Amino acid sequence: MITILYFGVLKQQLATESEQIGWSGGTGRELVAFLRARGSEWADALDGSRVFRIAIDKRIAGWDEPIPDGAEVGLLPPVTGG
């Protein structure tokens, strides 16, 4: 089981700030593919052309880094400011 935290526009688009899912292991890239397969709303929000980062246990991680069981995974959209 892992906990996924959604931030910024992702939280708004997906109408959830967090969830727990069963996870048999894999990378950040595989997690996003799994989430995108849930349907068009998820595929649109997590579209590959959108740039966002992944954090594993509160540390920015690479997309090919394994996500261990019990991890907290944050999906971070790009931010704007000025």
Paired with 53 in beta bridges are 76
**Domain coordinates in residue numbering, the chain:** 2-76
pTM here?
Answer: 0.90
Average confidence (pLDDT) over 38-65: 90
pLDDT digits (tens, 9 = 90+) for 52-74: 899 999 999 999 999 999 999 99
Q: How many residues does the chain have?
A: 82
CA dihedral sign, ordered 59, 57, 47, 17:
negative
Q: Domain 2-76, what fold?
A: Ubiquitin-like (UB roll) (3.10.20)
